[in-house]
Amino acid sequence: MMLQISGVHAHPPPSLLSMSTPLPDDETTTQASESALQPVKSTSDPSHAGHLDSSDFPEGGVTAWGTALGAFLIQFCGAGLTSSYGVFQDFYTQTYLTNSTPSAIAWIGSVNALLIFSVGLVSGRLLDRGAFYHVMKIGCLLQCFFLFMLSLAKPNGYYQASLVFVTA
C-alpha cells in the first residue's frame, strides 16, 4: 500500500495499515463527488413551488410581538449605553475628568464594552437554563444602581468614574 503526497510515494505508518476501514480510492471519491452534485428531487406538489403556506410559520400574536419589542428595548438600552460612550468621553475630557488624558478616559469605555460582552457568556448560559426573569431583574437593578452611583462620583475622581461606569 502506497500513499501519494504531492507526487511523492511514501509508505504509510503502521498505524494506518492496521485500521479496519479501508482508505478510499479514486473511484470511491469520484462516485461520492458525482452523487453530491445531483439535484435533489422534491416530493411536494409542484404547483405550490415558491408559495409559502401560512400554517408553516408559528404565530404568537400579542405575546410574540411583546417579546420581540421587549428584546429590542433591552438591546437598545444595553448596547446603546456601550456604543454611545463617545458622548461620555467628550464630557469627561472637557468637564468632569480634566486631569486625565483622553487615552486614560477611553479605557473606561473599552473595559465597559469588554465586560458587557464577556458577561454574555454567563448570562446566556443562565438564560438557556430558564433563569430569564432572575437575570433580567438583577441586570436592570444593577445597571440603574451603578448609573445613579455615577452621579455621586467626584469630579476628577478617575477611579470612581471608571469603577462605576465599567460596572454599569
Each residue's pLDDT tens digit, 40-50: 555 555 555 55
Q: Which of 6-15, 59-68, 83-92, 134-143 has the lowest mean pLDDT?
A: 6-15
The number of C-alpha atoms within 13 Å of 44 and in the hemisphere containing its C-beta is: 9
Mean pLDDT of the chain: 74
The verdict on residue 33 lying in a domain is no
Is 112 a member of any domain? yes
Asked if residue 115 is part of any domain, the answer here is yes
What pTM was estimated for this model as a whole? 0.52
Helix axes 102-128, 158-167, angle to 10 degrees: 30
CB 24 within 8 A of CB 15: no
In-domain check, residue 10:
no
Number of domains in the chain: 1
Answer whether residue 81 is part of any domain: no
94 CB burial (10 A radius; 0-12, 13-18, 19+): exposed
In this structure, is residue 136 part of a structural domain?
yes
**Measured torsion, CA atoms of residues 150, 155, 161, 165, in degrees rounded to the nearest 10:** 40
Q: Does residue 121 form part of some domain?
A: yes
SS3 49: coil
Taking only the tens place, the pLDDT of each residue in 3-45 is 555 555 555 555 555 555 555 555 655 565 565 566 655 555 5
Residue 19, in any domain of the structure: no
**Residue 134: domain span:** 96-168
